[in-house]
Chains A and B, each alone.
Chain A
Amino acid sequence: MTGSLAATLVRPAMALTTLPAVGAQHAAWLLLAFPAFGAIVLLLGGKRTNAWGHLLGVAMALGAFVVGVLAFVQMLGYPASQRSRDLHLYSWIPVAHFQVSIGLLLDPLSICFVLLITGVGSLIHIYAIGYMSHDPERRRFFGYLNLFITAMLLLVLSDNYVGLYAGWEGVGLASYLLIGFWQYKPSAAVAAKKAFIANRVGDVGLSLAIMAMFATFGSVSFTGVFGAVGGASHGVTTAIGLLLLLGATGKSAQLPLQSWLLDAMEGPTPVSALIHAATMVTAGVYLIVRSAPIFNLAPDARLAVAIVGAVTLLFGAIIGCAKDDIKKALAGSTMSQIGYMMLAAGLGPIGYALAIAHLLAHGFFKAGLFLGAGSIKHSMNDEVDMRRFGGLATVMKITFVTFGFAYLAIIGIPPFSGFFTKDPIIDAAYSRGGVSGALLGTAALLGAGITAFYMTRIMLMTFTGKRRWEDAAHPHEVGPVMTSPMIILAIGSLGAGGFLMISNRLINFLAPVVGTPPLSHGFFTPLSFLSLALVVVGGALAWAMYGRREVPVTAPHGNPITVAARKDLYGDAFNESVLMRPGQWLARLSVFFDNRGVDGLVNTLAATLGGTSGRMRKVQTGFVRSYALSMLVGAVLLIGALLLVRL
């Protein structure tokens, strides 16, 4: 199916007009104000707020959640065509035609994210009370978490691209601060910097896209850009689409800017769950889906999005298979799952809503997986090596069950979430038709099998088999403040996918923003049985390797693919040899050149102008004062003479 054909099949998204906010929607600014207040108090208040800081942090996240739910309920009260509402707050940067305001767009797409961010965000805030209870800097941690919530909400709520960009970089800052939270560890500090810089590469794409929008359409607001995009040439929309994709690859850890995410696991586990799994890393998907009116007119850019997604979903899954560090294995999985979302978004109108559905479902089960990993780590002296786990199912029952629910969700066993949200993406990829459709679909199908393999491997190595603990580790179930968020997320892992997808609930809800895709063929298709069969094969393979056999405490050498996957498929090696080392040489060379070349030239020139080079040598050997004084006197005399000559 070509792009233009898809466009004819699908009701255009711009049937929706944006109306001014009414009634209680005028309170939507509280969504930003609550967490912003928390961040300000906790970060400015310093040690004085240590005693109750975490409670304030949780309260502010919950407050934003309540406001979000109220806005959602109010939105449901309007007919579908009137659900897009704009709340103008103030004019931010007004210069001639460039008019940027801070304004909030409440529409079905943004409200999905608001509920995810504040809902899962609140759960993870609560969990962190327990997880960070022994950390003397817990208050600062909650300050950063609140800062993150503020920026993330600005990202998804802004009614224009510059405001989105502000949130975009704001979450990057929060991510930087939280990855480097234990910054006395050099590895954490390096990982934080790496994440920020990789994201900045993507940000170049996003900011250039915004500049191109302004230069082409004279506007940077969603309504302004989307209203005028129909008149743009194919080249311009493709260029903007590709620039947006570059931005998305940075934030969402897609190839070629993927390498920072694995290092980002240096951050405390609640951060990995909230920022580096459930919300921030999905911002790239939001950006693509939000820009649907542009991508609808740029089939080539869309194909690029889909290819990036397909390649990354395999790339991340393969890395996930080889990691012994549970958090890094899950991080590879996050890359892979976001690959699915990008693939779906790249499919265009048939995939936008599917991308969001998988994103929301993933928010539950991946946060659940990370919180489970966190509770194990918490109870085992910060151990993360799965070769040192084993047999935890009996000692950490709640963790086992909740982790298990999320496991079933991610590999896509019905009726768990993933089944309802992942298989439609595979289906949609094949329905694209042609060689590209077959390749994309097969990649997604293969990914499902690999996902089953690495997730089963994690389950088996962690919860079953012999206990391979260090002597000092005494794993035990964590307290209720940590288990209750895990239980709620487990329920989400079970029910979210079905709730969103059965009778096209989410697809219809999002239709006013992203258009209505052709109706799906139902969930139990031949393709879904094929996918399930691959899942079983993947799981069985993992069982054969890690369930039936004993897991050695030290990793075996492994085959070449395993070795490569352990090294993140040489992503870092590539960056180091192609970017970092040449970059360092360039910097050194430039410093040398600046000191010797440019400056030397100038000194020589000065000496020549001064008459003899001897005079310049004098300058450098100590007669500076007399020389300077003579220059100064000369200048003053010159000025003086000019002033006085006619007085």
Chain B
Amino acid sequence: MSNFPWLTVTGAVPLVGALAIALVPGRSAAADEAGQRARDRLAKQIALVFSLITLALSLVMAVEFKPGGPRFQFAQTYQWIPQFGVHYAVGVDGIALVLIVMTTILMPVVLLASWNDAEGLAGPAGETPPRRSVKTYFILMMVLETMMIGVFGATDVFLFYVFFEAMLIPMYFMIGSYGVGKRQYAAVKFLLYSLLGGLLMLVAVIALYVYSASGNRPGTFLFLPLTHLALSATVQKWLFLGFFIAFAIKAPLWPFHTWLPDAATAAQPGAAVLLVGVLDKVGTFGMLRYCLELFPAGAHYFTPVILVLAVAGILYAAIVAIGQKDMKRLIAYTSVSHFGLIILGVFAMTSQGQVGATLYMVNHGFATGALFLIAGFLIVRRRSSQIADFGGVQKVAPVLAGLFLISGLAGLALPGLSTFVSEFLVLIGTFTRYEVAAIFATLGIILAAIYILWMYQRTMTGPVRDEVAAMPDLRARELWAVGPLIALIIVLGVYPRPVINIINPAVHQTLVHVRSTDPVPPHPASALKNGSNP
């Protein structure tokens, strides 16, 4: 592995892209309509190119990554605020790497799908789109990408916290200024919730620093030394809660979820993909990385409660999803249900559960991403997100309907598609330790079939409604945006091993650290020898 700072460079490229976009002349009185459109297009093109460069760099990392190698690779550590022991420390393990690659894959997809979103054409019919700066929207997205890579790549708890909070700002504006409907209400709600959690985490982060200082040794925020800290069980419980509540709000775990449906409905589809597909994963990633490894005793103590909340969330959110009338809201609730499964897998503390949960984070990003984007294509055509306003779309736009169905089937975890692998791993990993939780969680697969197929039935089948009769099928740009996601959903369903191989060692290390061994019996190869006397 070369010493080239791949991770830092990958994270910095989008920020450079954002600066480059900022140099494009903005709105001015002199420019006519056509000139303005050309400038906007240039901004979009710059964003796309930089996001593709980022993607290429992250793929190089994925290839260079040694699954059996050191825990954190592409690592760099520099002192940042020496008085506080704050470092610029980055590095990725298998879990962080796959999440970064997921982010960099989603970014160009989202940019392409959001090409015309900033112009505000997706609002309800009759509402005049507000005039907004197109280039600012794309700058926000590029800045967000840097922060998302940073939050997964940080190996200093304080640095992680900074990215964790800073991510809120671009997303706040993307929802509040560029969203639809009750966008400002939703944006504030999103911000309030997140800040509340963030503040609790900040307290815990500082406490961690205080505890890490002992005798004449100064305190530190570096992750690896902190994992070796000998904290009393009581302290672990409190600090665990400080981190966990922040992550539970972010993920979100039932009953901390009510901000998400509002935010995802108010956001443009592309922003919703980043919100649900990436930002929320920081919550589940944080549980796996920080809650478990920093506070193993705290994690074990709270596991029963968390499992109950996770299972309740899986079923509750799925039932609420069935009753939704708005497409984006429905998809948001399905995500709450899926986050319940991810959290279940994390806290089952088995190899299958945690590998499944990590894989689920990736697969959910692609599957729900595709679902949100295609719903967005529908919404911009019909200028409504109400399910009841559609009907018979399959007849007029078969490609759109077909891809909508595939992403929907990924939502209900059909075998052959990527989500099945992760969902089944979570369920089976949970079953080996917590049978009852797994049995209840498995009931969710019935509810998933109902909410997906009922939505498909109401929007795509039946007689063609007059309002959708003239609806065009997918355009080339739209196809280029969701096509790669659909391909990934299928490829990772049939052949998930390359990703699993990257995740496996990282999960193994986590489990060793929390002192958890899989409760499965010895492999039957040995049992066969003893027990096969006819």
Contact = CB atoms under 8 A, between A and B. Distances in A.
A631 interface: yes
B463 interface: yes
Interface string A158-186: 00001001101110010010001001111
B415 interface: yes
Contacts of A632: 169, 172, 191
Given A98-B351, A227-B524, A162 B258 contact: no
A438 B456 CA distance: 48
B524 A173 contact: no
A176 to B, nearest CB: 8
B351 A218 contact: no
B185 A208 contact: no
B21 to A, nearest CB: 22
B56 interface: no
Residue of A176, A590, A619, A647 most packed against chain B (CB within 10 A): A590
Contact of B323 (A185, A215, A590): A590
Contacts of A635: 165, 168, 195, 198
Contacts of A599: 258
Given A14-B534, A190-B457, A204-B446, A184 B496 contact: no
B142 to A, nearest CB: 20
Contact of B192 (A43, A46, A606): A606
Contact of A646 (B84, B350, B500): B84
A112 to B, nearest CB: 24
Contacts of B162: 639, 643
B279 interface: no
Given A166-B416, A224-B523, A628 B409 contact: no
Interface stretch (B47-55, B126-134, B434-442): B434-442
Nearest to A585: B323
Interface in B405-445: 409, 414-416, 420-421, 424-425, 427-429, 431-432, 435, 438-439, 442-443, 445
- How many chain B residues sit at the interface, stated as a range, is 35 or more
Interface stretch (A52-60, A78-86, A194-202): A194-202
A643 B166 CA distance: 13
B497 A94 contact: yes
Interface string A97-115: 1100000000000000000
Residue of A43, A193, A211, A588 most packed against chain B (CB within 10 A): A211
B428 A631 contact: no
B81 A646 contact: yes
Contact of A227 (B402, B416, B500, B528): B528
B188 A619 contact: yes
A530 interface: no
Contacts of A170: 414-416
B416 to A, nearest CB: 6
B147 to A, nearest CB: 13
B184 to A, nearest CB: 4
A624 interface: yes
Interface in B504-534: 504, 508, 518-525, 527-528, 531-532, 534
A189 interface: yes
B258 A625 contact: no
A46 B322 CA distance: 32
B255 interface: yes
Contacts of B402: 43
A230 B188 contact: no
A216 B521 contact: yes
Contacts, number: 225
B461 interface: yes
Given A196-B449, A204-B445, A591 B495 contact: no
B123 interface: no
A217 B428 contact: no
A217 B524 contact: yes
A97 B520 contact: yes
Contacts of A162: 424
Nearest to B254: A598
A231 B527 contact: yes
B386 to A, nearest CB: 15
A183 B442 contact: no
Contacts of A168: 415
B461 A180 contact: yes
Contact of A211 (B169, B394, B438, B461): B438
A211 B165 CA distance: 40
B460 interface: yes
A596 to B, nearest CB: 11
Interface in A400-442: none
Contacts of B445: 200, 203-204, 207
Given A95-B355, A643-B81, A197 B531 contact: no
B319 A624 contact: no
Interface in A571-586: 583, 586
Given A594-B320, A647-B81, A189 B457 contact: yes
Contact of A628 (B191, B351, B450, B508): B191
Nearest to B511: A96
A588 B453 CA distance: 18
Contacts of A590: 316, 319-320, 323
B363 to A, nearest CB: 13
A598 to B, nearest CB: 5
A240 B408 CA distance: 30
A553 interface: no
A169 B415 contact: yes
A98 B428 contact: yes
A180 B527 CA distance: 47
Nearest to A635: B195
Contact of B453 (A12, A188, A197, A619): A197
Residue of A12, A210, A624 most packed against chain B (CB within 10 A): A624
Given A180-B461, A586-B319, A95 B352 contact: yes
A594 to B, nearest CB: 5
Contact of B461 (A14, A184, A224, A643): A184
B195 A631 contact: yes
B454 interface: yes
Given A97-B518, A204-B442, A628 B531 contact: no
Interface string B381-397: 00000000000101100
A91 B496 CA distance: 9
A214 interface: yes
A602 interface: yes
Given A189-B462, A594-B320, A624 B188 contact: yes
A627 interface: yes
A212 interface: yes
A635 B518 CA distance: 42
Contacts of B185: 619-620, 624
B394 A183 contact: yes
A184 B184 contact: no
Residue of A96, A210, A599, A619 most packed against chain B (CB within 10 A): A96
A266 to B, nearest CB: 12
Contacts of B421: 92-93
Given A166-B415, A207-B445, A224-B524, A98 B352 contact: yes
A264 to B, nearest CB: 15
11 contacts: A93-B421, A95-B504, A96-B518, A196-B449, A207-B424, A208-B438, A211-B427, A218-B521, A227-B524, A594-B258, A624-B188
Top 9 A-B residue pairs of the complex, sorted by shortest distance between their CB atoms: A587-B323, A189-B461, A96-B351, A166-B415, A211-B431, A591-B323, A227-B528, A228-B524, A624-B184
Interface of B: 81, 83-84, 162, 165-166, 168-169, 172, 176, 184-185, 187-188, 191-192, 195, 198, 202, 255, 257-258, 316, 319-320, 322-324, 350-352, 355-356, 392, 394-395, 399, 402, 409, 414-416, 420-421, 424-425, 427-429, 431-432, 435, 438-439, 442-443, 445-446, 449-450, 453-454, 456-457, 460-464, 495-497, 500-501, 504, 508, 518-525, 527-528, 531-532, 534
Given A90-B495, A98-B351, A190-B457, 17 more contacts: A12-B534, A46-B399, A93-B425, A166-B416, A169-B414, A176-B453, A200-B445, A201-B446, A207-B427, A211-B427, A215-B435, A583-B322, A606-B192, A625-B184, A628-B187, A631-B188, A639-B166
